[in-house]
């Protein structure tokens, strides 16, 4: 059984390590043609403390990657304790690829013919699997910014739905040395750059901002349920069969509300390694493990619909609260219900004529 993994990002790199531990040596392909300064796919680098066990499983120590704690964090004016922090993701990816057979080229359909199993870990590209049954992507724009406070107070970590007209949010993630990832993700808005500029203008009484680099990207917020099929059996030119199977963001293991995909993609890779070669079991396990993502996606569908432009329903508010609780964020329930952040803005933005 020979295996190729297309993509040496979070899910593909981690899977390669897990398979090596099980005595399977995959060929890993990644052209790494990212036009970002960090040479990675654009990402905020924010993760919850739960990442520690995934790293420990492959002999890595989280402390070597920690950059900054994001506790406390501001959620549209509500300040809460969180178990979130930023990590040096480029360094983590470099360490994933140590000791594995990495080919610095993309895997196309032609080369994929050589393998019995091809894992599509190509993230948003989903380069080898057929299209998702109902895809949904969130356009983003992110800057790395040096921030200097005019007075003594540092810029704190935060997520703000109330700065975005429509369905989206702005994030401020500290990444060390007074540098920050400041980004916007929003569905249905073209001018993300002017919204970021507005944030800098609004804040320039307190801070001065120097943009160091900028990247754009899409996040698959479709949920796994709407990103099926997860695998496809094909017959190769020589008549033998082959399986193409997706892991990570290629099959939507990302929170539709927050765009958080790092830990969920690690979990997905782990489920895959534990299920191999039972693809039905893998599919069932991923759908069960991430069933809450289906509900979040359905809330997005509702809010994007004509009907949903009225007001988030009780169930949408509850899903938002559950999302925060799942990430270990201590938002008080009643406050979270009243000020539902990214979701309420859909309503408040319209009330304010934004």
**Interface with ligand FAD by CB under 6 A: which residues?**
6-12, 29-32, 41-47, 106-107, 121-125, 127, 140, 142, 183, 217, 219, 248-249, 254, 259-262, 265
- Bridging pattern class, strands 73-75 and 66-69: unpaired
CB of 173 to ligand FAD, least distance (A): 6
> Is the N-terminal amide bond of 181 cis, ω within 30° of 0?
no
Q: How far is the CB of 342 from ligand FAD (least distance, A)?
A: 14
Closest to ligand FAD by CB, 175 or 303: 175
10: which DSSP letter?
Answer: H
Measured CA to CA, the distance from residue 330 to residue 151 in angstroms comes to 29
Cβ contacts of residue 44 below 8 Å, gap of 6+? Answer: 86, 142, 171, 173, 181, 183
**Least CB distance from residue 163 to ligand FAD, whole Å?**
16
Nearer to ligand FAD, 43 or 343 (CB): 43
Residue 94 vs 311, nearer CB to ligand FAD: 94
Provide, rounded to whole angstroms, the least separation between the CB of residue 171 and ligand FAD.
7
Q: Are 169 and 159 spatial neighbours (Cβ–Cβ below 8 Å)? A: yes
* Shorter beta-carbon distance to ligand FAD: residue 29 or 225: 29
What DSSP character marks residue 100?
S
Cβ-proximal residues to 237 (8 Å cutoff; 6+ apart), any chain: 113
Rounded to a whole number of angstroms, the minimum distance from the CB of residue 185 to ligand FAD is 7
Distance CA 25, CA 71 (A): 39
Q: Is the peptide bond before 72 cis (omega within 30 degrees of 0)?
A: yes
Closer residue to ligand FAD in complex, CB, 251/276: 251
Tell me if 25 sits within 8 A of 150, measured CB to CB: no
Q: Cβ 329 to ligand FAD, closest distance in Å?
A: 14
Lookup: tokens for 166:
């429509």
Nearest to 242 by CA among 13, 1, 30: 1
Q: How far is the CB of 190 from ligand FAD (least distance, A)?
A: 17
293-330 burial, b at 16+ Cβ within 10 Å, e below that, comes to bbbbbbbbebbbeeebeeebeeebbbbbbebbeebebe
Closer residue to ligand FAD in complex, CB, 252/308: 252
Measured distance CA(2)–CA(318) in Å, rounded: 45
Q: Compute the chain's Rg from CA coordinates.
A: 20
C-beta of 16 vs 78, nearer to ligand FAD: 16
Cβ closest to ligand FAD, residue 262 vs residue 303? 262
CB of 213 to ligand FAD, least distance (A): 12
């Amino acid at each position: 059984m020979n295996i190729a993994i297309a993509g040496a990002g979070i899910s593909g790199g981690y899977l390669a390590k897990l398979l090596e531990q099980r005595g399977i040596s995959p060929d890993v392909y990644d052209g790494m043609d990212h036009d970002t300064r960090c040479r990675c796919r654009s990402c905020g680098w924010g993760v919850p403390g739960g990442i520690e066990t995934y790293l420990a499983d492959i002999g890595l120590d989280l402390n070597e990657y920690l950059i900054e704690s994001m506790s406390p964090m501001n959620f549209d004016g509500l300040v809460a304790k969180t178990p979130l922090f930023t990590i040096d993701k480029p360094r983590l990816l470099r360490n994933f690829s140590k000791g594995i057979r990495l080919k610095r080229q993309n895997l196309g359909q032609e080369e994929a013919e050589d393998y019995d199993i091809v894992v599509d870990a190509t993230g948003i590209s989903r380069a080898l699997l057929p299209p998702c049954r109902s895809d949904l992507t969130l356009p983003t724009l992110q800057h790395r910014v040096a921030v200097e406070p005019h007075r003594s107070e540092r810029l704190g970590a935060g997520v703000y739905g109330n700065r975005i007209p429509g369905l989206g949010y702005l994030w401020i993630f500290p990444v060390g040395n007074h540098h920050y990832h400041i980004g916007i993700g929003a569905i249905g808005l073209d001018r993300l750059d002017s919204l970021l500029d507005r944030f800098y203008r609004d804040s320039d009484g307190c801070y001065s901002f120097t943009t160091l680099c900028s990247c754009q990207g899409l996040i698959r917020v479709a949920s796994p349920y709407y990103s099926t099929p997860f695998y496809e059996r094909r017959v190769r030119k020589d008549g033998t069969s082959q399986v193409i199977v997706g892991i990570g963001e290629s099959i939507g293991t990302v929170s539709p509300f927050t765009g958080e995909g790092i830990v969920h993609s690690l979990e997905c890779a782990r489920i895959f390694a534990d299920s191999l070669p039972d693809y039905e079991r893998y599919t069932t396990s991923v759908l069960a493990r991430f069933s809450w993502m289906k509900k979040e996606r359905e809330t997005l569908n509702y809010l994007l619909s004509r009907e949903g432009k009225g007001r988030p329903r009780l169930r949408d508010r509850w899903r938002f609260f559950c999302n925060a609780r799942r990430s270990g964020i201590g938002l008080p329930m009643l406050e979270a219900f009243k000020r539902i952040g990214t979701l309420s803005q859909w309503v408040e933005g319209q009330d304010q004529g934004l």
